[in-house]
Amino acid sequence: MPVQLYAAALETSNQSIASFLEPNDYAEVSTAIINAHIAGKTYRPDANNPSEFSEVSTPNFVKRFALSNVALKLQVQPEWSLGLIYDQPYTTDISYAFKPVLSSSAQLVNAVNFKTDSDNLTALLGYQPNLSWNYYGGVSYQNLDTQLQISGQSMGLLMDYSANAENDSAMGWLAGISYQIPAYALKTSLTYRSKIRHHPLLQEQIFSTPTILALNLSAARHINIETPQSVNFDFQSGINPNNLIYTSLRWVNWEKFKIISPLLSTTEPVSLVDYKKISSPAHWV
């Protein structure tokens, strides 16, 4: 049974080019609906005695969303092949709200809404000098759209922060090599994808309830977001006429993926999204 392990919560695709390595002409279409349930435990103040707390379950954090993958490979000549792959590598839709008093919707302590959408179209060109070797490269065109809303209450004052990174498009590249021995069902590939640098306009706003003009701020500035570089290694081999062994390893440099707020950054940068250490998502089968 295949098992997928991803260390980064934003990653929803392993950006595989396996469809491009299929023999002859090839096409595939797949769709998935993600209906996850992620919840936990927290403490809620008692409605009549705020100094006493009781443990309660949080609501589901994750909203339902859909993912699609489309691939087309054409063997235009015995030595040359063309391919197109569409996927959505970075997607999330998280919503959380905590109210201290069940009967009072106005007493909101904190809430977070975070949504990221991406579309990635990869064009590939491959050269096969013989039946064993395949050298390939190409370009990726990527769209990225991110929204974040945070609400919090302190000393009776409700503060709301919103950030909207408008849809931005940017280009990257990839290159790789594949070796196979069809008689033994042996197939390996190593693929590198470059980072993609986005420069979206980030619109930020802070406002308070009740209104305090000194705390109500807004800004609109272009920022830098780098979707990370990655390396994929795939291996497959026949072990007998009826069985295969195969695995896939993936490394992603998440350490460079950050979203920094110009509005909140004063003496030092304030990150809205930040991976403190390098994560290495892997896909094991």
pLDDT band at 71 (very low <50, low <70, confident <90, very high): very high
d(CA 193, CA 124): 12
pLDDT of residue 2: 39
How high is the mean pLDDT of the chain? Answer: 82
First to last CA, the chain: 7
* pLDDT (tens digit per residue) in 175-207: 999 999 988 889 999 999 999 999 999 998 887
Strand locations in the chain (E): 3-5, 26-34, 41-45, 53-57, 65-74, 80-87, 92-98, 110-127, 133-154, 157-181, 186-193, 196-198, 201-209, 217-222, 225-227, 230-240, 243-252, 258-261, 270-274, 282-284
Best CA proximity match to 148, nearest among 105, 198, 109, 202: 202
Q: Spell out the CATH class of 3-10+27-284.
A: mainly beta
* pLDDT (tens digit per residue) in 75-105: 999 999 999 999 999 888 887 766 544 444 4
pLDDT band at 170 (very low <50, low <70, confident <90, very high): very high
pLDDT of residue 110: 66
pLDDT greater at residue 13 or residue 142: 142
DSSP string, 215-257: G-EEEEEE--EEEPPEEEEEEEEEEETTEEEEEEEEEE-GGG-
Structure tokens at 96: 């959380």
Tell whether the model's pLDDT for residue 3 goes beyond 60. no
Q: Is the bond into 59 cis (omega within 30 degrees of 0)?
A: no
pLDDT band at 263 (very low <50, low <70, confident <90, very high): confident
Q: Average pLDDT of 4-13?
A: 64
**Cβ–Cβ contacts within 10 Å for residue 187, how many?**
21
* pLDDT (tens digit per residue) in 229-252: 999 999 988 888 788 898 889 999
pLDDT of residue 281: 43
Best CA proximity match to 232, nearest among 204, 215, 251, 211: 251
